[in-house]
Amino acid sequence: MMSYIFITLIVVFGHSEDFLGTTLLGRPLVLGPLVGWVLGDLHQGLVIGATLELIFMGNIKVGAAIPPDVITGGVLGTAFAILSGKGAAIALALAIPISILAEMLLSALFVSRSAFNKKFMAYAGAGRFDKVQRLHILSGLLKPLSMGLITFLSLQLGAGAMKSLLDRIPSWVNEGLQVAGNMLPALGFALLMNLMFTRRVAPYFFLGFLLAAYLKLPLIAVGGLGVIIALLVTQGGQPVPAEEEPDPFTPQLAKATIRNLFFRSLLLEANFNFETWQNTGFAFAMLPVLKKLYPTKESMSPALQRHLQLFNTSTYGSTLILGITAAMEEQQVDPGTINSIKLGLMGPLAGVFDSLFWGTLRVIAAGVGVSLALKGNIAGPVLFILLFNVPHLWLRYELTFIGYKTGTRFLQKLAQGHVMEKLTTGAAILGLMVVGAMPATLMAVKAPSQAVLDQVMPGMIPLGLTFLVYYFVKKSVKITYLLLGLLALGFAGSMLHWLV
Tens-digit pLDDT profile for residues 175-195: 777 777 778 778 878 877 887
pLDDT band at 55 (very low <50, low <70, confident <90, very high): confident
> What is the residue-averaged pLDDT of the chain?
84
pLDDT at 456: 78
Mean pLDDT on 231-259: 72
Q: Is 271 within 8 Å of 113 (Cβ atoms)?
A: yes
Residues 166, 161: Cα–Cα separation, whole Å: 9
Mean pLDDT on 341-355: 77
pLDDT at 168 over 70: no
Mean pLDDT on 246-256: 76
Q: Would you list the DSSP string of 435-486?
A: HHHHHHHH-----TTHHHHHHH-TTHHHHHHHHHHHHHHHTT--HHHHHHHH
Mean pLDDT on 172-176: 74
Residues 191, 219: Cα–Cα separation, whole Å: 19
Mean pLDDT on 153-182: 72
Judged by phi (left if over 0) then psi (alpha if -120 to 50, else beta), residue 22 lies in left
pLDDT at 239 over 60: no
Mean pLDDT on 393-418: 79
pLDDT at 377: 92
pLDDT at 490: 81
Amino acid at 49: G
* Cα 312–Cα 21–Cα 271 angle in degrees, nearest 5: 50
Lowest mean pLDDT among 69-73, 193-197, 241-245, 464-468: 241-245
Residues 287, 293: Cα–Cα separation, whole Å: 10
Residues 69, 76: Cα–Cα separation, whole Å: 11
Q: Which carries the bigger pLDDT value, residue 152 or residue 340?
A: 152
Mean pLDDT on 389-403: 93
pLDDT at 139: 95
Residues 117, 414: Cα–Cα separation, whole Å: 36
Angle between helices 419-442 and 185-196 (to 10 degrees): 160
pLDDT band at 149 (very low <50, low <70, confident <90, very high): very high
pLDDT band at 458 (very low <50, low <70, confident <90, very high): confident
pLDDT at 198: 84
SS3 300: helix
- Listed in sequence order, the residues at least 6 apart from 68 whose beta carbon sits closer than 8 Å to its beta carbon are 56, 59, 96, 99, 100, 102, 103, 479, 480, 483
pLDDT at 317: 87
Mean pLDDT on 119-128: 93
Q: Which carries the bigger pLDDT value, residue 372 or residue 223?
A: 372
Residues 88, 177: Cα–Cα separation, whole Å: 9
Can you give the pTM of this predicted structure? 0.79
pLDDT band at 244 (very low <50, low <70, confident <90, very high): low
Mean pLDDT on 205-230: 86
pLDDT at 132: 95
pLDDT at 303 over 60: yes
pLDDT at 65 over 70: no
pLDDT at 250 over 80: no
pLDDT at 340: 78
366 burial level (CB within 10 Å; 0-12, 13-18, 19+) = buried
pLDDT at 37 over 90: yes
pLDDT at 367: 84
Q: What percent of the chain has pLDDT over 70?
A: 90
430 burial level (CB within 10 Å; 0-12, 13-18, 19+) = buried
pLDDT at 142 over 80: yes
Cα dihedral sign, 477-479-481-487? positive
Residues 463, 473: Cα–Cα separation, whole Å: 15
pLDDT band at 451 (very low <50, low <70, confident <90, very high): confident
**pLDDT, tens only, 78-98:** 998 888 777 777 777 788 778
pLDDT at 395: 93
Mean pLDDT on 463-475: 90
